[in-house]
Chain A
Amino acid sequence: MIRTEQLTKKYRKVEALKNLNLSIPRESVFGFIGPNGAGKSTTMLILATLLKPTSGRAWIDGLDVVKQADEVRRIIGYMPDFFGVYDNLTAAEYLSFYASSYGIPRHRQKAIINDLLELVNLTEKRDLYVDGLSRGMKQRLGLARALVHDPQLLILDEPASGLDPRARIEFREILKELRAMGKTVMISSHILPELMGLCDAIGIMEQGELVAQGDVEEINARFKGNRMIEIHVIDQLEKVVRVLEGEQKVTSIQVDESRRLLKVGLNGDEHLQVSLLSRLVAEGIPVFRFEEIAVDLEDVFLKLTSETGGESN
C-alpha cells in the first residue's frame, strides 16, 4: 500500500529524513514510532502530498505522491498532529463540507455522516457547534473527517496526543474497528504501549532513519535480553544462580532472596526456555514457577534508541 524509496527531505541544513525505505502492506496497521524530531511527521506530510521530498520517491497504492497527487488525495485520509476546526459550523456541517469537497452529492451525505458520527460516538453532538466540543471530541471528529470519503489508507499523526487515558482507550477501540473494516492505517506515536495491541507491524525512526521495522514480536525478539523469565524456587537459590551463570544465553540475573525469586534475561526463544527448565529440574532444583513475563516495548525502544546514539530525552 505504501512504499518509499530512498526518501529524503532536507529543510535547509536539517536533514529530517535520510534515505527512508519503507513498505507497508495493504490492510495492516503500521505503528510509526520515534522520539521528537525523528522525522515521523515529515514522512507523513510527504505521503499526504503536502510536502515535496528533496529526493527519493514514494507511492501509495502504486501512485506517485508527487506526480499523481490528485489521485493519491482521493484514497488517503490524513489527520495532522495539530489541526483546527471551523468553530461556527456544527459537527454535521463540518463533515458535510469535507464530503462536498470530495464531490459526494448531498443526498448521499446524510447517511455517511450519520454512520461516521456513530463510529466516533458523536451522534448526540451532531448539531452542536464544533466550538463546544472537548479536545477529545474534536480529535474524534477529526478522525471522522478523515474517513468521510471512505479512504483505503489512513495516515494519523499522533492522533492520541493530548487525550486523557480514557479518551485514548476509546480512540484505540475506534481504530480497532477501522482495522476490522479492512483499512490500512499508518499511525505515529512516541508512546509505545499505546500501539502494542493495535499494530501488526511497527517501524522505529531515529533521526531521520528507520532503525527497525517488522512485526511487533519480531522487533521484540531482535533485541538481546528482551525475553524475561521469572523463576520461583522453594530453596537452593545459590545453586540456581550457579547453574544459570554457566549458561551462555543468559544475559542478566536478578535475585530476590526474601521471595526466593529470580528474574532472568534470555537471548533466545522457547526452545532455550525448555532446555533451561529441564536443566534446572535435572539438577534437582525445586522449581514451582517458571514463567515468561511480558517485556514492555518501551524498554525495547529506549534500548534501541540509545544504542543508535539517538538524541532521545
Chain B
Amino acid sequence: MTQWLRFWQHPILDKEFRERMRKRGTFWGITIYLSVIGLIALTYFFLASEMASSVVSGVGEYLIIGLFVIQLITLALVVPGVTAGVISGERERQTLSILLTTPLSSSGIVIGKWLSSLSYILLLVISSLPLYAIVYLYGGISPSQLIKGFVHLFVSILFLGSLGIFASVVFKRTVVSTVVTYLAVAVVGIGSVILFGFWEVFKNINSIKNDLVSEILMGLNPLISLLTFLIDDFDHLSIQPYAVYVTVYPCLTLLMLLLSIYFLSPLRWKMWSWPSRKKA
C-alpha cells in the first residue's frame, strides 16, 4: 500500500498531472472527446436500431460492437497525439538534459511519462463508461464479452502509448515523432489486413489447408481481433485472435518501452550513430 502511494508520488507523475491539469487544452480535450464519441455513438445507435427493428434481439450486440469500434478508432487517433510529444517536447523546451542529470533514471522518465499520459487517456475512457452502461441495458452481450472488450481496449492503449513514447525518444522533433507514430498506427491497422489478403491469395494458389497463419494475422489486427470475440461466428477458430492480440501486443509494448529507455539514456553502452545535430 505504501509502495503504491509512493509510486503515485513519483516526481514525474506529479509534475505531469499538475501541468496537464493546468493546460486549458485538457478540459477541452475531454469535452471534445466525449462529444465526438457520444455523437457518433448516438448516430450509430439510431441507425442500427432503425435497421434492426425487425430483428429486435440483435440490437444490443450491434450497438456494443459499434461502440467498441468507435472507441478503438478514436483512441488510435488520440493516443499518438497525447504521447508522441512527451519526450521530444522536453527536448524542444530544452528541459531534457537537466532532467537526465537528476537521479531520475531514463527508465523513471519513460515509465513516468508513459503512465501519466495513460492516466489521461484512461480518464477519457472512464468518462465514456455511461455510454456502455446504456448499451448494456439493451442486452445481447455477455459480461465476459464486455470485460474482454475492455481488456482489449486497455491493451491497445498501453501499446499505442508506448509507440508514441518510443517515437518521441528517437525523433528529435515532436512533429516528426507524431507523423511517424500515426504512420506506425496505420501500418498496424491496415498493414495486417493487407498481409492477410496476400496470405489468402497465396493460400488459394498453393491450396494450403492450414489456417493457423490467417488466424494469427487476424489476431494482429486490432479491429478484427476485437470483432472476433464480439461476434459469435468465429467460435470455430483453433487460435482465438483475441488471445493472440492480448499476448503479442503487451510484449510489443514492453519492447517499445525498453527500447525507449535504452535510447533515452545518454551513456548507453554503444553510441548509436543517430544524427545528433545541435543548434549551430
Contacts and interface: CB of A to CB of B under 8 A. Distances in A.
Interface of A: 11, 48-52, 66, 69-70, 73-74, 76, 78, 80, 82-86, 88-89, 93, 97-98, 100-103, 145
Contact of B267 (A69, A83, A97, A100): A69
Interface of B: 9, 11-12, 14-15, 18-19, 22-23, 93-95, 97-105, 266-268, 271, 276, 279
Nearest to B268: A52
List 4 A-B pairs, minimum CB-CB distance, nearest first: A100-B11, A84-B94, A84-B93, A101-B102
B23 A88 contact: yes
Given A49-B266, A50-B100, A52-B266, A85 B95 contact: yes
Given A66-B267, A86-B95, A100-B14, A76 B103 contact: no
Nearest to A85: B95
B266 A70 contact: no
Nearest to B112: A101
What is the interface of chain B mostly: helix, strand, loop, or mixed?
A: loop
Contact of A49 (B9, B267, B268): B267
Given A52-B271, A73-B102, A97-B11, 13 more contacts: A11-B276, A49-B101, A49-B267, A50-B101, A50-B266, A69-B267, A83-B97, A84-B94, A85-B93, A86-B15, A88-B22, A101-B102, A102-B102
Contacts of B102: 73, 98, 101-102
18 contacts: A48-B97, A48-B101, A50-B101, A51-B266, A52-B266, A70-B105, A80-B94, A80-B98, A82-B279, A83-B94, A83-B95, A84-B94, A86-B19, A86-B93, A88-B22, A89-B15, A89-B19, A98-B98
Nearest to B90: A84
Contacts of A51: 266
A74 B23 contact: no
Contacts of A80: 94, 97-98
B127 to A, nearest CB: 23
Contacts of B95: 83-86
B107 to A, nearest CB: 12
Nearest to A97: B15
A50 B18 CA distance: 27
A93 B14 CA distance: 10
B14 A97 contact: yes
B275 to A, nearest CB: 10
B93 A70 contact: no
Contacts of B101: 48-50, 73, 76, 78
A64 to B, nearest CB: 11
Nearest to B277: A11
A70 B103 contact: yes
A13 to B, nearest CB: 12
B133 to A, nearest CB: 35
A52 B18 CA distance: 33
Contact of B103 (A74, A86, A93, A145): A74
Contacts of A102: 102-103
A200 B148 CA distance: 69
Contacts of B22: 88
A58 to B, nearest CB: 12
B10 to A, nearest CB: 8
B27 to A, nearest CB: 14
A101 B18 contact: no
A88 B93 CA distance: 12
Contacts of A82: 94, 279
